[in-house]
Amino acid sequence: MAEFVPAVGNILSLIERRDWARLEQGLAPDVHWTTAVEEQLHGPGEVIALLRDDPVPGPPAFHEVDEAGLLVRWVDKMG
């Protein structure tokens, strides 16, 4: 994960470890996540519910972190 910015590496590591509690702590309450098939997820609950049953995503095409270091936006690479 070293080749990614720290926020992306951290999020991907938490997903790989299936550490949903810590992942939720790293997501902003209003996080907006767009999947590779352009499904729009809003809020940590929707994001984690999807990730529980899906393979670990690759690095995003775009991401945004707020001033507190929480992930507010993730856009998977369309593929």
Q: Where along the chain do its domains lie?
A: 6-75
DSSP classification of residue 58:
-
- Residue 26 near residue 14, CB atoms below 8 Å: yes
φ and ψ at 42, to 5 degrees? -130, 125
Q: What is the pLDDT of residue 9?
A: 92
5 has pLDDT over 80: no
Please name the CATH architecture into which domain 6-75 falls: Roll (3.10)
Confidence of residue 3 (pLDDT cuts 50, 70, 90): low
